[in-house]
Amino acid sequence: MSAHALTPADTKRYARQIRLNGFGPQAQSALLASHVLVIGAGGLGAPVLTYLAAAGVGRISIIDPDTVELSNLHRQFIHSEARVGHRKVDSAKARMGELNSTLDIITHPVLLTPDNALELIGAADIVIDGSDNFATRYLANDACEILNKPLVWGTILGFDGQVAVFDTMQGATLRDLYPVVPAPGSVPDCATAGVLGALCGSIGAAMAMETIKVLAGIGTPLYNAVSIHSSLDASWESIPVRRLPEREPITELGSHLGDYADALGSLRAEMNAGTPAGSDPSVTWESITPGTHLVDIRDAEEVSAGMVPGARHIPMDILLDDPGLISGNGKVALYCRSGVRSARACAQLRAQGSEVSSVSGGYLAYLSLPH
């Protein structure tokens, strides 16, 4: 990071944090000279992006292929009713520009994949993971380890949340905290388990604070520890995390594609090269053949913001209760938001004799395609 000389306008805008004992002009200059990459403009991304823009992080890149839905607004307060149906990255950029027009906001309306991760992450000083699936979390972690970039990580489930700063230069990473990648669908997401907006705010604000500490060189960042928050009793507990001595360092993404591909769909065809035709029930958007009947199994509020042209909407629970709804349609491909629910539904339907496939990456992967 190069130094950023404070202007009179900077001094006025950031006066309240500059005058903090232990912060001062030097820390503010460091923020203004920094480039942060934020993965996700949703429940965690909303408070992270808002606070970093307000604090004066000079360049902020946002990765998210999704669009704003009405069901997002109870927690994703960076968006508004007027922006339902718009891309989240564009909605977030507009709001951040209203808050602080002096910043450089870069948008990437794509999924983070093994194809683009190193390039996107390599341009940033620090990465913030506000994603909602394990494939993206491990991909971001591994790319950061390869590139020696610090990663601010957060997650929520039910009424609880976790925050950590992973940095291979400092010690532990996500693979030291959770060595085994959970199977897709093994842990419910917000769409199925629900979430309170205020919890997203608590965890997102903590992630923003950790980012500021790392960039500004203040305090003690959460290296080699995970902070666990229980919202119902307002408690925070910090648990040490150690580098696993037997764990091999991550040196390339290609050796771990199986950890990323189920939810992301990237390189799926390459991974299955040489396998018998029809042995893998997953397909990518690029590999879907003409005549395939697309079935959107998302809930009604999810499809209200948009769906793939020509697809038929049958919510997952209705389809599983009555598989006959897709009988006689020839080739059928199911898709959901990210590919997790459709993979689960596909497995159940195939066990019952239905010839269906699941579109890897789901609607988010479709939004990432050039249109």
Q: Which of 207, 223, 240 is the last residue of a domain?
A: 240
Residues 113 and 203 occupy one common structural domain: yes
Residues 178 and 229 occupy one common structural domain: yes
CATH number at residue 314: 3.40.250.10
Residues 223 and 285 occupy one common structural domain: no
Q: What is the pLDDT of residue 273?
A: 37
The boundaries of the domain holding residue 171 are 34-240
Out of 144, 200, 336, 346, the active site residue is 336
Out of 144, 190, 200, 346, the active site residue is 190
In this structure, is residue 139 part of a structural domain? yes
Q: Which helix (H) or strand (E) holds 95?
A: helix 88-99
- pTM beyond 0.95: the answer is no
Cβ neighbors of 168 (< 8 A, separation 6 or more) are: 144, 145, 148, 249
Q: What is the pLDDT of residue 227?
A: 98
DSSP letter for each residue of 329-371: SSSEEEE-SSSHHHHHHHHHHHHTT--EEEETTHHHHHHHS--
In this structure, is residue 61 part of a structural domain? yes
Q: Which helix (H) or strand (E) holds 97?
A: helix 88-99
In this structure, is residue 25 part of a structural domain? no
Give the separation between CA 199 and CA 196, rounded to whole angstroms. 6
Q: Which of 240, 257, 288 is the last residue of a domain?
A: 240
Q: Is 336 a catalytic residue?
A: yes
When divided into structural domains, the chain yields a total of 2
CATH number at residue 231: 3.40.50.720
Q: Which of 206, 240, 274 is the last residue of a domain?
A: 240
Question: How many angstroms separate the Cα of 105 from the Cα of each of 38, 43, 44?
Answer: 11, 19, 18
Q: What is the pLDDT of residue 205?
A: 98
Question: DSSP 3-state assignment of 75?
Answer: coil
Residues 62 and 192 occupy one common structural domain: yes
Q: What is the pLDDT of residue 361?
A: 87
Question: DSSP 3-state assignment of 68?
Answer: coil
Question: How many angstroms separate the Cα of 37 from the Cα of each of 28, 96, 186?
Answer: 18, 14, 28
Residues 79 and 193 occupy one common structural domain: yes
Question: DSSP 3-state assignment of 51?
Answer: helix
Among residues 232, 265, 235, the alpha carbon closest in space to that of 364 is found at 265
In this structure, is residue 121 part of a structural domain? yes
Give the separation between CA 39 and CA 211, rounded to whole angstroms. 13
In this structure, is residue 251 part of a structural domain? no
Residues 235 and 298 occupy one common structural domain: no
Among residues 161, 194, 187, the alpha carbon closest in space to that of 71 is found at 194
In this structure, is residue 257 part of a structural domain? no
Give the separation between CA 176 and CA 141, rounded to whole angstroms. 11
- DSSP class of 128: E
Mean pLDDT by 10 residues, the chain (371 residues): 85 97 96 98 97 98 94 94 94 97 97 94 97 93 98 95 97 96 69 82 98 97 97 96 95 91 45 40 89 94 90 96 90 91 90 91 90 71
Residues 57 and 149 occupy one common structural domain: yes
Residues 93 and 202 occupy one common structural domain: yes
Residues 210 and 72 occupy one common structural domain: yes
Place of tokens 């389809």: 319
Indicate the residue type of 63.
I
Task: Give the length of the chain.
Answer: 371
Give the separation between CA 187 and CA 155, rounded to whole angstroms. 12
Residues 292 and 212 occupy one common structural domain: no
Q: Residue 205 class from Cβ within 10 Å (0-12 exposed, 13-18 middle, 19+ buried)?
A: middle
Please report, in angstroms and rounded to a whole number, the separation of the first and last CA atoms in the chain: 35
Residues 330 and 364 occupy one common structural domain: yes
In this structure, is residue 141 part of a structural domain? yes
Among residues 114, 225, 208, 246, the alpha carbon closest in space to that of 167 is found at 225
In this structure, is residue 11 part of a structural domain? no
Residues 185 and 276 occupy one common structural domain: no
